[in-house]
Structure 1
Amino acid sequence: MHLHPPKPRLFHISEQPGISIFTPRPSPSHFDNITGNLVFAINDQLLHNYLLPRDCPRVTFYAGANTTDADKQRFMGNTTASHVVAVESGWYQRIKETTLYCYEFLSDDFVLIDECAGYYVSYKPALPIAVTVIDDIMAALLSRNIELRFMPSLICIAEAVRDSSLQFSLIRMRNAKG
């Protein structure tokens, strides 16, 4: 008897309500293993990385299997959260005022392309099976065992995290303030 791992719950976060079909599009980022237009989805474990306004820069990280004790202590030593999401203080008001729509997909047509980031892709159109309105982003984030950090600038922490042994995502950093 073969035991199959449970299928992941997959989501797409948007500021646009009422999307009835997600059509494959060019990837906004380069991935060596992407060969055409696609639909992106994020798994439930890392959904918090996207529970923010689309253009909001963020540094997200967590301790992985190969994270050193020194890096765990340096970046996460004083938190009981499993993940950290750092955003710029200047985004506070926009985060408070933004409504997000969390679309859920069946995972059948999706394949994992980045385990660290929780990214899945499909080359086929995807129909949402459910949508959840998120009108309190901070409450949604803080219900997920993460530490939300507001910082004047993300530049230094982004560099430090990138050079560490942590698992991380640097998202929309082109919008970060110096």
Structure 2
Amino acid sequence: MKQLFHFSEESAIKVFVPRVKENRRDMPPVVWAIDDRHEFTFYFPRECPRIVYTRTNDMTEEDNSKFFGLTNSDIIITVETDWYERMMNTTTYRYRMPADSFQLFDRTAGYYISTQTIVPEEVEPLNNLVDRLISLNIEVRFTPNLYPLRNAILSSSITDFGIHKFANAMSET
């Protein structure tokens, strides 16, 4: 059975109450979780802007070369340089959630939702977030500004990507 998690910088959440998410005001109140296959996308400080993209067979050869040409990793995560120190010093907490309370919301991203109040099964602190990503053969890149990468990905053949907390990215220059 798939394991589901919720990530937070808060260490002592006893109950997760459904709520409306800021960027999903069209949805009813829910509790969010992510599956174990995609949990690495949350090995970051909560507000950290980042772009995650994965090599797939349906990419053009040109885009494969452009985005993955100098790596043998199939997953690349790029973060703005200003977030490096926070990444190195942040402890995030992984809450294991009861999977039977959730329904699949987005298969590509691994997101699940529940309209029920949820009591987590356990909580585990996660440190050394960059090391955790590297141990999964994920290439971690840092850049002064995410806008050029975001614009390139949005006009590419890459279909498996996530642009997280982009409102917190540096302004386009």
Q: Shared fold (TM-score greater than 0.5)?
A: yes
Q: How does 1:48-87 map to 2 (within 5 A)?
A: 48-87=40-79
1:148-159 aligned within 5 A: 148-159=140-151
CA displacement, residues 118-167 of structure 1 (integer Å, 9 cap, x when unaligned):
11111111221122111211122222221111111100101111222221
Cα 1:135–1:39 shift into 2, 3 Å: same
* Mapped partners of 2:169, 2:123: distance in 1: 29
State the 1:13 CA deviation: 0.8
Aligned partner (choices 62, 80, 83) of residue 88 of structure 1: 80
Gaps of 5+ in 1: 1-6
Taking structure 1 as reference, are residues 65 and 153 closer, same or farther at Cα in structure 2, changes over 3 Å only? same
State the secondary structure of the residue aligned to 1:117.
coil
- One-letter amino acid of the structure 2 residue matched with residue 168 of structure 1: F
Change (3 A) 1:8 1:84: same
Higher mean C-alpha displacement, 93-102 vs 60-69 = 60-69
Establish whether residue 172 from structure 1 lines up as the match of residue 154 from structure 2.
Answer: no
Runs of 4+ in 1 over 4 A off after TM superposition: none
Question: Structure 2 unaligned runs (5+)?
Answer: none
Return the alpha-carbon distance in structure 1 between the equivalents of residues 117 and 136 of structure 2: 29
Report the residue type matching 2:147 in the other structure.
I
Q: Determine which of 80, 96, 106 is the counterpart of 1:114.
A: 106
Aligned residues between the structures:
170
Secondary structure at 1:108's aligned position in 2?
A: helix
CA deviation after TM superposition for structure 1 residue 31, in Å? 8.2
Describe the SS at the equivalent of 2:113: strand
Q: Normalization by structure 2: what TM-score?
A: 0.91
Q: SS state of the match for residue 112, structure 2?
A: strand
Using the aligned pairs only, state the percent identity: 35
Amino acid at match of 1:135: N
**TM-score using structure 1 length:** 0.88
The one-letter code sitting in structure 2 at the alignment partner of 1:118 is G
1:73 positional shift: 2.0
User: Which amino acid is 1:171 matched to?
Assistant: H
Q: Is the 8 A contact 1:162 1:168 kept in 2?
A: no
Do the aligned partners of 1:53 and 1:95 also contact (CA within 8 Å) in 2? yes
